[in-house]
Amino acid sequence: MKRTDLYFAIVMLAIFVPFFLSADLYAWYKTFNAEHAMIMAFLKFGILATLGEMLGCRISTGNYTTPTFGVIPRMVVWGILGMAISMAMTVFSNGIPAFITSMGGESLVADFFAEGITWGKLVVALSISVMMNTFFAPVFMTFHKITDTHIAECGGSLKALITPIDMRRQMVALNWDRQWSFIFKKTIPLFWYPAHTITFMLPGELRVLFAALLGVALGVILAIGARKK
């Protein structure tokens, strides 16, 4: 174990432990999250998803960053993507129950919005997860890959945030075989479908936080997949 591993563990503990130790801090978080959902989405994903990618980098390269990793640019990009994810979660978690209701599934939707864990809640949560990850996730993942490449091409510097992305060149150069065979074909049905089913079974104030934590887990999964390749 390197000294940086200890530092990383301390940072992770510093982020989460205070919320378990202080009821007032957790109450403040819930209030602020309800009143400023987009700000919190930016912060959660900007911090946690970036830490997940750093952990993935540690697994695949032995270091938490590389010269072209670009911690700050990644945090900003993840923050913006986090707001998009929060928006998508709101749209699909309200739109799919409305569709199910229109198809005669009022009892399922009633279970979904009620407290506790029921089969109805599971069915609706799974439906939301499948629809969101089938129609939103591929576009999101492709754009995220392009931004990663763009940051690396800018040497991981802040210049990446103000330099226009050559979208046409990036789209042509993208490894579509890996994008389909691993990112789309495997991670979406095997990881994101069940993971976001759990997400949508949680109370609303915890969903975006849990989704950001999934970013940490995905960073590890992608790193392991890269090493096997």
Domain layout of the chain by residue ranges: 36-228
Q: What is the pLDDT of residues 149-161, one digit of tens each?
A: 999 999 999 999 9
Q: What is the pLDDT of residues 32-73, one digit of tens each?
A: 888 899 999 999 999 988 998 898 888 888 889 999 999 999
Q: ∠93-135-55 over CA atoms, to 5°?
A: 85
Q: Which residues contact 178 (CB under 8 A, 6 or more apart)?
A: none
Rounded CA gap, 14 and 17, in Å? 6
What is the pLDDT at residue 17? 86
What is the pLDDT at residue 61? 86
Rounded CA gap, 118 and 77, in Å? 37
What is the pLDDT at residue 178? 87
Three-class SS state of 144:
helix
What is the pLDDT at residue 229? 52
What mean pLDDT, rounded, does the chain reach? 90
Q: What is the pLDDT of residues 86-142, one digit of tens each?
A: 999 999 999 999 999 999 999 999 999 998 889 999 999 999 999 999 999 999 999
Examine the pLDDT at 219 and tell me if it is beyond 80.
Answer: no
